[in-house]
Amino acid sequence: MIIVVAPDSTREQIDHICQRIQELGLKPHLSQGEQRSIIGVIGDETRLQTQPLAAIPGVEQVIPILKPFKLASRQMKKTDTVVEVSGAPGSPPVKIGGGHLALIAGPCAIESEDILAEIAKAIRAAGANILRGGAFKPRTSPYSFQGMGEPGLKLLKDIGHAHGMAVVTEVMDPRQVDVIVRHTDMLQIGARNMQNFDLLKEVGQTRKPVLLKRGLSASVKDLLMSAEYILSEGNSQVVLCERGVRSFEESTRNMLDLASVPNVKGQCHLPIIVDPSHATGRPDLIPAMARASVAAGADGVHIEVHSCPEKALSDGPQALLPSQFAQLTEELEKLAAVMGRSFR
Ligand code: PEP
Ligand code: MN
């Protein structure tokens, strides 16, 4: 439920409305705009059905929300949310959403200082604004490389910032949140953890932007409900990521659901980017799907790049070479300009 507050209402009236909501066992979420304030009511709305909320002074309108996600909904916020990722000291924050596109790139896993520095230099020259790299890796096999852990996080931050980029890395467990928050600018929730609700609550308690990837078999509604978990803890800085879903098709790693981009945008104000690397698993398909993502209205792309894919410790077969990435970003910049958007 959304309560639209009358434009001439006083601070006392707004406080009183919030207090009544709390008395009814629900959580008010006040969003104050320049012209208007609205209050999202979080919790079991059935408790409110008999309560004459419209009679409280200062309430202009009570709008029931049929969607199970409230804070993430367009009804709650009509304008696109612009997430700001503050990174390298001295560099402006990277904006994502509202016409600003993210160009997130880097290796699947952080492997060594030399390799990461080589990749960072190349992707920055090609226009990337956020460096990605996993230090804690969700591998299908327990025998595969599991990531460098905390020393990898330090490398990521130092190298990303030295090249003027913000950094993002995956957090897999609530116990990792503290250390990862200290070393990174944005927290990635991977596909396998999209419904790890304790983890979502934990990152919701931080004030770091979150990159929330769609689960392997998650519906768009599931994705938005997971975003709702983070928003309801008070962290409004969420970027969604379409990375393909499991399907019967065997020639690609996953099935890229590009329709999810306009689908999400119609019902949710949060930015959504696309990861064509994990969606296709194939370097020959990544450029076309990245271009299609920008054309579909995505707020950016997330692409794995490695200077020597054949030696990569994780996801080498799907990595683009820096030269392929540079060619792609040139095309994406032109496409973005046609669509009145920009990677800056
Ligand atoms: C990754 O970004 O390296 C990753 C593991 O992605 P996903 O969670 O989408 O599989
Ligand atoms: Mn990967």
- Centre of ligand 1 to C-alpha 190, Å, is 5
As a whole-number percent, the residues of the chain with pLDDT over 70 amount to 98
Which domains are delineated in the chain? 2-63 (3.30.70.1140), 83-338 (3.20.20.70)
Q: What is the C-alpha separation between 236 and 87, in angstroms, rounded?
A: 18
Q: Decide whether any atom of ligand 1 lies within 6 Å of the 214 Cβ.
A: no
Per residue in 209-218, pLDDT tens? 999 999 999 9
> Does residue 216 contact residue 192 with C-beta atoms inside 8 Å?
yes
* Residue 42 confidence class, pLDDT cut points 50, 70, 90: confident
> Does residue 274 contact residue 302 with C-beta atoms inside 8 Å?
yes
| pTM, to two decimals | 0.90
Q: What is the pLDDT of residue 51?
A: 66
- 48 against 9, higher pLDDT: 9
Q: What is the C-alpha separation between 181 and 148, in angstroms, rounded?
A: 16
Name which of 35-44, 102-111, 265-274 the model is least confident about: 35-44
Per residue in 283-293, pLDDT tens? 999 999 999 99
CA-to-CA dists, residue 232 to 17, 51, 104, angstroms: 19, 23, 26
pLDDT tops 70 at residue 162: yes
- Pocket probe mutation, ligand 1, options 131, 139, 211, 213, max atoms within 8 Å of Cβ: 213
Q: What is the C-alpha separation between 9 and 212, in angstroms, rounded?
A: 37
Query: What is the residue with the minimal CA distance to atom 10 of ligand 1?
Result: 191
Q: Decide whether any atom of ligand 1 lies within 6 Å of the 108 Cβ.
A: yes
Q: What is the pLDDT of residue 35?
A: 78
Per residue in 236-276, pLDDT tens? 999 999 999 999 999 999 999 999 999 999 999 999 999 99
- Centre of ligand 2 to C-alpha 263, Å, is 25
Q: What is the C-alpha separation between 215 and 226, in angstroms, rounded?
A: 10
Q: Decide whether any atom of ligand 1 lies within 6 Å of the 189 Cβ.
A: no
Q: Which helix (H) or strand (E) holds 300?
A: strand 300-304
- 309 against 64, higher pLDDT: 309
Q: What is the C-alpha separation between 102 and 194, in angstroms, rounded?
A: 21
Q: What is the C-alpha separation between 68 and 227, in angstroms, rounded?
A: 12
Token pair for residue 100? 């600003």
